Structure 1
Amino acid sequence: MFEDWLTEVAATTGRPELNLSTDQQKLVLDLAREAAHGVARPAAPLTTFLAGYALGAEGGLDRLAALVEDLGAAARARAPKDEQ
C-alpha cells in the first residue's frame, strides 16, 4: 500500500520520475525523524518539504543523500544533549 501510494503521488504531481527508491524513501524518513527529534515534531514535514523544494531547484534526486546528511546534521546539532 505504501509503495502504491508513493507511485500515485508521483503520478498525480505530474512527475512519475520522482517515484522514490527504497533507499531514497529511507533517507527522507530519516530526515523527518532527525527534524522531529532534534528541532520539534512540526519541523518534520516542513523540513522534508523544503528539502524537496530545494532538490527541485538545484538538480534533483542525485543530491538527495548529501542534502539529507546536511539537514540531518543541523537537526542533530539542535537536539538536547541528553537525546543524542
Structure 2
Amino acid sequence: MTETLERWSASLARELDIADFEVDIDAVLALAGVAAHAVLRPAAPLTTYLVGYAAGRAAALGEASGEEATARASEIAAALARSLER
C-alpha cells in the first residue's frame, strides 16, 4: 500500500506542479484517521483538504514555511476533532 501511495503522491504532485513538495503520507493518513473516528468518516478527506488549504495560504502569506504551516494546521485540526469525539 505504501509504495502505491508514494507513486500516486509523486505523480499527482508533478501534475499539480508541486513536485518539490514532500508529502508525509503517514501524517496525512493519521490525521484522516483521527477525523474519521472522532467526527465521521467523511470528515477525513474534508479535514485533510482544509488543512492543506490553510497551510498553503499561511505559507503563501509568509507566515510560516510549508512544513511548519502544515504541522500547525494539522495540530489544530486533530485537537478540534478530538474535542468533538462522538
| 1:74 aligned onto 2:77 | no
Partners of 1:45 and 1:71 lie apart in 2 by 12
Partners of 2:51 and 2:5 lie apart in 1 by 21
**Aligned pairs, how many?**
77
SS at match of 1:58: helix
The alpha-carbon deviation at position 47 of structure 1 amounts to 0.7
Partners of 1:30 and 1:78 lie apart in 2 by 17
The alpha-carbon deviation at position 17 of structure 1 amounts to 1.6
Q: Once the two structures are superposed, what CA deviation does each residue of 1:20-77 show, in whole Å capped at 9, x if it has no partner?
A: 1xxx222211110111111111110011001111111101232222221111011011
List gaps (5 residues or longer) in structure 2: 60-65
TM-score (norm 1): 0.82
Match in the other structure for 2:40: 40
Q: Which runs of 4+ in 1 moved over 2 A?
A: none
Whether the 8 Å CA contact 2:56–2:69 is kept in 1: the answer is no
Match in the other structure for 1:25: 25
Q: Which of 64, 75, 78 is equivalent to 2:70?
A: 64
Output the aligned Cα RMSD.
1.2
Whether the 8 Å CA contact 1:32–1:47 is kept in 2: the answer is yes
Whether the 8 Å CA contact 2:51–2:73 is kept in 1: the answer is yes
Query: Identity over aligned residues, as a percent?
Result: 39
